[in-house]
């Protein structure tokens, strides 16, 4: 080993810490790509960010498996199945409600109705928050 490489190695993070930093960065990158995907109006840009998200998720998964197999990553405690099922059901209900809402608004807009705006303005003062 040359003196230069010894000097460089002496100032690097331990391998486990470095890999965990990379793992955290991949997670952050996935969040950023997902945000970019959802905010893209251009179909080709949206597709590009979707592909970047997928490939980054694959890389993150591979790194997680490596760290896990080397006992370098402590996974969070296991979730209770009933809680996971409950959250999944809530998310599916919310998704269904949003789809119905979107379909209704799209139909109203395509028919040229101004009623949704009037109803929204009228109902704006009727909400209470706790």
Closest CA to 56 of 67, 44, 64, 68: 64
Whether 30 contacts 53, CB under 8 Å: yes
Would you state the structure tokens that stand for residue 44, as one six-digit string?
């080709």
CA triple 101-103-105, angle to 5 deg: 70
Helices 115-124 and 81-110: crossing angle in degrees, nearest 10, is 130
Of 24 and 118, more confident: 24
Q: Where are the domains of the chain?
A: 8-75, 79-113
pLDDT for 30 beyond 80: yes
Picking from 24-28, 64-68, 111-115, which range would have the lowest pLDDT averaged per residue? 111-115
pTM of this prediction?
A: 0.57
């Amino acid at each position: 080993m040359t003196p230069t490489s010894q000097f460089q190695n002496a100032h690097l993070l331990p391998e486990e810490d470095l890999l965990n930093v990379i793992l955290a960065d991949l997670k952050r990158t996935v969040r950023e790509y997902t945000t970019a995907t959802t905010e893209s109006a251009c179909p080709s840009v949206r597709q590009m960010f979707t592909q970047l998200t997928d490939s980054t998720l694959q890389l993150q998964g591979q790194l997680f498996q490596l760290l896990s197999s080397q006992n370098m990553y402590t996974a969070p405690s296991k979730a209770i199945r009933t809680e996971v099922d409950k959250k999944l059901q809530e998310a599916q209900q919310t998704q269904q409600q949003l789809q119905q809402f979107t379909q209704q608004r799209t139909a109203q807009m395509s028919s040229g109705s101004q009623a949704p705006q009037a109803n929204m303005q009228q109902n704006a003062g009727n909400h209470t928050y706790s």
